Every structure is written in C-alpha cells, then in structure tokens.
Amino acid sequence: MAILTPEVTSLINLLESDIPANPRSPANERKASRLERKLQDYFKALEQAFPYDDVEILYNRHVEVE
C-alpha cells in the first residue's frame, strides 16, 4: 500500500496538469509569470511617464484652497 500512494499521487498530478483551468499546470505558470513581468513593465513605465514627485508642486500651484 505504501508503494501505491506515491504512484497514485503522481498519476493525479499528471492528469491535473492537463486540465486547462489548473493554475499549477506548467503552461499556466509560465503564462502567469509572463503576465507578471508585463504588468511590472507597465507600471514601471507608468511611474516614469507620470511625475509623482511633482504632484504636490502641481497641486499647490493649480488648486485654490478656499
């Protein structure tokens, strides 16, 4: 029985890896890491495009406080 359990577990893992919606499948893990890298690049570009350090200066210059 002890030998059968790892074999069944490995068989289940092989079957799970072919399920399209399985987040732990190798293909989906690659897609997730690729999406993560693209999002990091996007937010880095957004941060460089918008001067967050100048927000306070721009706010104080153009917003009138009543």
Question: What ranges do the domains of the chain cover?
Answer: 4-62
Q: What is the CA radius of gyration of the chain?
A: 25
pLDDT digits (tens, 9 = 90+) for 17-42: 777 787 878 888 999 999 999 999 99
pLDDT at 56 over 60: yes
Judged by phi (left if over 0) then psi (alpha if -120 to 50, else beta), residue 63 lies in beta
Instruction: Output the pLDDT for position 35.
Output: 97
| Band of pLDDT at residue 5, cut at 50, 70 and 90 | confident
Instruction: Output the pLDDT for position 40.
Output: 97
Instruction: Output the pLDDT for position 1.
Output: 56
